[in-house]
């Protein structure tokens, strides 16, 4: 008798944001800006900021605990932990190892994945491959970032954007058909100079780096990359899956900036009415932004079991990744 085919399904979700709110009124006291200017150009009204002793691992712990509480699931038998982050507590050990220890997961692989703001979608892509191949059966995919620690609050063009938070999903092998319909990813390292946080090296592609360890971003170039690349990626994925744009129930892009999202929707034919984002009250949370937006949509009763979602992340690297997946 042949073994039953097991396919990846997303079975649970949780999220976490710190308590402290940094709204636009307070931002006005930090830099030369105002609420109207911020909202018009970004769509952001406030963002969350981690406490003095609160780091990326704590956000990840909170998101996984929320997942456990919401769905009454056991994570101690998870056989892979993937944490998408570019702001780990330490160079090593990984945040994934900290999650493994915190939840007492006795036998699991653990790795951090750094694809910046595309990281959560990359994590889903990897989880799909690991379960589809039969190598793994139960995977935690977490997007978590602590951007406020790397934000330069003297740079009025970037400091208004970033917040902290995390989202987590459980991807399991099930007898039902695969929830993963198609995916697409890519990178363009030549554009890495347009958004970076410096480390050991002081040049990139022959160009000197600045920022003194804080995040540096060329917003105009990131906008051009995102709108062009994501629009093309959406078209390619729909063609791969042989589905029309009207079959997408929800578009969930990385919550970088509302103007970017609106431009992508206009060019791709996706409706803003069917678009979920988390930036209005959480800001740009990098790898956490997509799961935060998805969880908000679920809690608000918008996303229903069986809905087809198109998730698309883009960011530093430059990297991008899209996933078309069925919820529930």
Rounded CA separation 45/42 (Å)? 9
Same domain assignment for residues 29 and 150 = yes
Task: Calculate ∠ Cα 30-34-35, nearest 5°.
Answer: 115
Same domain assignment for residues 88 and 214 = no
Query: SS3 for 8?
Result: strand
> What would the pLDDT profile of 143-160 be if each residue is shown by its tens digit?
999 999 999 999 989 999
Is 202's pLDDT higher than 60?
A: yes
Does the residue 292 lie in any domain?
Answer: yes
Is 1's pLDDT higher than 70?
A: no
Same domain assignment for residues 49 and 118 = yes
Same domain assignment for residues 216 and 251 = yes
Q: Is 254 a catalytic residue?
A: yes
| pLDDT at residue 209 in the model | 92
Average pLDDT, the chain: 96
Whether residue 296 contacts residue 16, with contact meaning beta carbons closer than 8 Å, is answered with: no
Same domain assignment for residues 200 and 216 = yes
Local confidence band at 3 (pLDDT 50, 70, 90 cut-offs): low
**Beta-carbon neighbour count of residue 274 at 10 Å?**
18
Same domain assignment for residues 164 and 227 = no
Q: Is 265 a catalytic residue?
A: no
Contacts of 161 (CB under 8 A, 6+ apart): 42, 44, 47, 256, 257, 283, 284
Options 86, 125, 284, 321, the catalytic residue: 284
Task: Calculate ∠ Cα 181-186-189, nearest 5°.
Answer: 165
Does the residue 1 lie in any domain?
Answer: no
Does the residue 266 lie in any domain?
Answer: yes
Which tokens hold the place of 189? Answer: 């390292």
Same domain assignment for residues 276 and 321 = yes
Is 214's pLDDT higher than 50?
A: yes
User: Last residue of a domain, which of 140, 174, 208?
Assistant: 174
Options 86, 97, 117, 136, the catalytic residue: 117
Give the up-direction half-sphere exposure of residue 220: CA atoms within 13 A in the CB hemisphere. Answer: 0
Q: What is the DSSP secondary structure assignment for residue 193, as one 8-state letter?
A: G
Same domain assignment for residues 114 and 225 = no
Report the pLDDT averaged over residues 103-116.
97
Rounded CA separation 328/323 (Å)? 15
Report the pLDDT averaged over residues 86-114.
97
Does the residue 235 lie in any domain?
Answer: yes
User: Last residue of a domain, which of 151, 174, 197?
Assistant: 174
Name the residue among 238, 212, 258 with its Cα closest to residue 310.
Answer: 238
Report the pLDDT averaged over residues 297-318.
97
| pLDDT at residue 263 in the model | 97
Is 138's pLDDT higher than 50?
A: yes
Options 254, 257, 265, 320, the catalytic residue: 254
Tokens 């956490």, located at residue: 288
> What would the pLDDT profile of 179-197 be if each residue is shown by its tens digit?
999 999 999 999 999 999 9
State the residue range of the domain holding 295: 180-326
Residue positions counted in the chain: 328
Is 249's pLDDT higher than 60?
A: yes
Report the pLDDT averaged over residues 247-260.
97
User: Last residue of a domain, which of 148, 174, 200?
Assistant: 174
Same domain assignment for residues 162 and 18 = yes
Is 139's pLDDT higher than 90?
A: yes
Does the residue 319 lie in any domain?
Answer: yes
Same domain assignment for residues 198 and 109 = no
Does the residue 110 lie in any domain?
Answer: yes
Residues of the chain above pLDDT 90, percent: 96
Whether residue 125 contacts residue 321, with contact meaning beta carbons closer than 8 Å, is answered with: yes
Same domain assignment for residues 39 and 146 = yes
Does the residue 162 lie in any domain?
Answer: yes
Burial of 155 (0-12, 13-18, 19+ CB in 10 A): middle
Which tokens hold the place of 110? Answer: 């653990």
| pLDDT at residue 173 in the model | 98
Give the strands of the sheet with 308-315, arranged side by side: 180-187, 319-326, 308-315, 250-253
> What would the pLDDT profile of 5-54 be if each residue is shown by its tens digit?
899 999 999 999 999 999 999 999 999 999 999 999 999 999 999 999 99
Please state the domain count of the chain.
Answer: 2
| pLDDT at residue 5 in the model | 80
Which tokens hold the place of 252? Answer: 């969930």
Rounded CA separation 132/247 (Å)? 24
Helices (H), 72-138: 95-102, 119-132
Whether residue 88 contacts residue 148, with contact meaning beta carbons closer than 8 Å, is answered with: no
Same domain assignment for residues 67 and 204 = no
Instruction: Specify the higher pLDDT residue, 235 or 213.
Output: 235
Does the residue 2 lie in any domain?
Answer: no
Report the pLDDT averaged over residues 101-127.
98
- Its pTM stands at 0.96
Local confidence band at 212 (pLDDT 50, 70, 90 cut-offs): confident
Which CATH number do you get for residue 57?
3.40.47.10
Rounded CA separation 108/101 (Å)? 10
| pLDDT at residue 294 in the model | 98
């Amino acid at each position: 008798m042949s073994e039953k085919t097991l396919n990846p399904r997303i079975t649970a979700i949780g999220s976490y944001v710190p308590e402290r709110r940094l709204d636009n009124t307070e931002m006005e006291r930090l830099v030369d800006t105002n609420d109207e200017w911020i909202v018009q150009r970004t769509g952001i009204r406030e963002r969350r900021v981690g406490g003095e002793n609160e780091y990326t691992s704590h956000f990840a712990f909170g998101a996984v605990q929320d997942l456990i509480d919401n769905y009454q699931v056991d994570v101690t038998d998870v056989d892979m932990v993937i944490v998408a982050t570019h702001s780990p507590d330490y160079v090593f050990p990984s945040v994934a190892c900290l999650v493994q220890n915190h939840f007492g997961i006795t036998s699991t692989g653990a790795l951090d994945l750094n694809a910046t703001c595309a990281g959560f979608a990359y994590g889903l892509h990897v989880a799909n491959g690991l379960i589809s191949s039969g190598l793994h059966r139960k995977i935690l995919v977490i997007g978590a970032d602590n951007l406020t620690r790397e934000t330069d609050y003297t740079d009025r063009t970037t400091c208004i954007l970033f917040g902290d938070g995390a989202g987590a999903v459980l991807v399991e092998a099930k007898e039902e058909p695969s929830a993963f319909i198609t995916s697409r990813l890519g990178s363009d390292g030549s554009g890495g100079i347009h958004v970076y946080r410096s480390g050991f090296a002081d040049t990139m592609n022959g160009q000197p780096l600045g920022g003194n360890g804080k995040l540096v971003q060329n917003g105009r170039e990131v906008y051009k990359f995102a709108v062009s690349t994501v629009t093309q990626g959406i078209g390619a994925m729909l063609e791969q899956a042989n589905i029309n744009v009207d079959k997408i129930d929800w578009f969930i892009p990385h919550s970088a900036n509302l103007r970017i999202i609106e431009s992508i929707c206009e060019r791709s034919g996706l409706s803003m009415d069917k678009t979920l984002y988390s930036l209005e009250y959480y800001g740009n949370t990098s790898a956490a932004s997509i799961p935060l937006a998805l969880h908000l949509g679920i809690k608000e009763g918008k996303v229903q079991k069986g809905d087809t979602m198109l998730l698309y992340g883009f960011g530093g690297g430059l990297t991008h990744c899209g996933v078309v997946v069925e919820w529930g």
